[in-house]
Every structure is written in C-alpha cells, then in structure tokens.
Structure 1
C-alpha cells in the first residue's frame, strides 16, 4: 500500500467522523432552544437535557479535532506559514507535528488513561445523581478518542508533507494555494 493511500485512508476516516458528527451542532441548538423554552416559558428544568448539550458539545469538539486538521482548520501563525512555498509548508508541518502535535497527543493520552480507567471502574455518573446522565465515564473516554484521532491524523499530515518534499503531488492537494484541503 502506498503512502498516499494510507494518508488518503486516514483523511477519509477523520472526514467521515467529522461529517457524521457535525449534525450534533444542530441538535445542540435545538436542545438548547427546548431547554430555554421549558425553563423560561413553562418554568420547568431538565438536568438531563442540559447535560445532553454538554455531551454533544464534548463529542463534536473531541471527536472532530482530526476532521479539523484534515481541513487545515486549526489555528496557526500565518505570518510564516501563509506566504510560504508548498515545500516550506511541508517542512513546517513536519516539524510542528513531530515536535509538538504528536508529543502533546501522547501526553494527553498517557495522562488521561488512568483517569478514564478509574471512571470506567466505577461507571462514573453525573454529579447530579439520578437527575443527570449516568455516563461521565464516556465523556472521560472522549479525551482518549481526541488524542488518538488527532495523532492518527498527524500521521497523515506527516505522510503528505513527506510526499510533497519528495516532489509527489498529493491527491488531496494539501499544499496547493490557500486554506484547507480540497474535497
């Protein structure tokens, strides 16, 4: 299997996750609207619905970090990166990924592992007791998912950058022009 196919497969996987979970943002808006309506019009509160918004937000933020990297959407210092040539961008991406992104993903995973295991050991639930969602352990597991998906996408970024440095035109055109990847 070629390096380009591996990078494309990783990109497709994170892109699929991001596109699938992006609908949760609409759900968050709708559930928040219902919570506000119930609270201020009918005088009713719902801890479960409020926590559902938190869970959806966590899922979108954590599970879609790789998707954001696929589409070059993370914040970066464009003073150097923006006007750089494709070759310079590839070098910057390799250095940033190898020395910053991957170590940070490893650190997050390593620090979070016992934290998530402890939550699973007791099936940690909401601090609101029976009024909330009894699945805080799943939220804590999302931190591991975040680190894993971002690290996986960083492998694709390194492969695409290496291919660019080797003079191979990447199939997704990561280093062509401005902005993110072309779909």
Structure 2
C-alpha cells in the first residue's frame, strides 16, 4: 500500500516536471522576442521581464521534487559513495526525516499565508507595466507541498529497501540498467 502511494507521488511529480519543462521553452522564446522588440523596434515592457522570472520560479520550484525523485539533488557523493547502498539509504532516510521534511514544512507554513495575502489583495508588481504577483507567490507553497510529498515517497522507498522489499533501483537513477520505481 505504501509503495503504491510512493508510485503515485512519483507519477504526480513526473507529470508536473514534464509540464513545467515547457516553461524553459517559453522563457527562451519570450527572452528572444523581448530582445528583438527592444533592440529592433525600441519596444519593451516590464511584463516581459517579469514573466521570465515567473517561468524560472515555476521551473525551479515545481521541478525540484522531480530532481529529488531521480536522486540528482546536491549531496556529497564523494563521501556517500564510499558507503554501502544500505548505509546510503540510512543516511538518506535520516536526512529526509531530520532536515528535508522539517525545513519544507516550515517554509510551507509561512508560504501559505504569504501567498494567500497576495492573492486576496490582488497584489501587482510595483514596476510600470508589471504583472500580478500572486500567481508567482502561489508557486512557493505548491512547490514545497510537492517536495514534501516527494520526501514522503523517498522515505517509503528507503524503508522498503532497508526491509528488503525492493532493491536499490527503487529510488533515484536506474542502477545497472534497471528501471526506477514507477518508471
């Protein structure tokens, strides 16, 4: 039952990452169009710059859980790589429980009222021609909620590995050509 929940979370974050990956394409197109309009026709707007920032925020916040799922997050592999898979799973488990989940929960706790205040007030950019700010601020709680869910999924998979219910290919990058859990 728990592994099924982990697969569902993995699938959710995979789909979100696939959708948000298009934000990079949009940002590049907008950046190029903005440069052409600014230097070719002397036309510009702060909205063009702000939408690029919003797209970057979406890419960063909403794709970070997918990075964790694929075990491509930043860590000290020079140290972790010296330990057995079992020891690495224990290190991950402690890191997720003692650091990842509490920090994400704290950020989520403060981000929800911050985003809701912006939404209720219809907060706008102070820049001339700027955009609404609340959609970008709503990305913060959404991203950290997805990260908490992915953290729970990773905890489930590490516990299942330590209990002998799955092998190391169940989390992160496929090892030795084996597919990762849920792929």
TM-score (norm 1): 0.89
Residue 82 (structure 1) shift: 2.2
- Which one of the candidate residues 135, 139, 147 is aligned to 2:136? 139
1:160 paired to 2:183: no
Residue 181 (structure 1) shift: 4.3
Which residue in the other structure is 2:8 paired with?
9
What is the aligned residue count? Answer: 179
Of 3-12 and 112-121, more deviation after overlay is shown by 112-121
CA contact (8 A) 1:70 1:181 kept: no
Which residue in the other structure is 1:80 paired with?
79
1:35 paired to 2:34: yes
Distance in structure 1 (CA, Å) of the matches to 2:81 and 2:35: 42
Residue 170 (structure 1) shift: 5.0
CA-based RMSD of the aligned residues comes to 2.1
Distance in structure 2 (CA, Å) of the matches to 1:83 and 1:8: 29
Give structure 1 stretches of 5+ with no counterpart.
Answer: none
**SS of the residue aligned with 2:170?**
coil
- Which one of the candidate residues 124, 127, 145 is aligned to 1:148? 145
TM-score (norm 2): 0.89
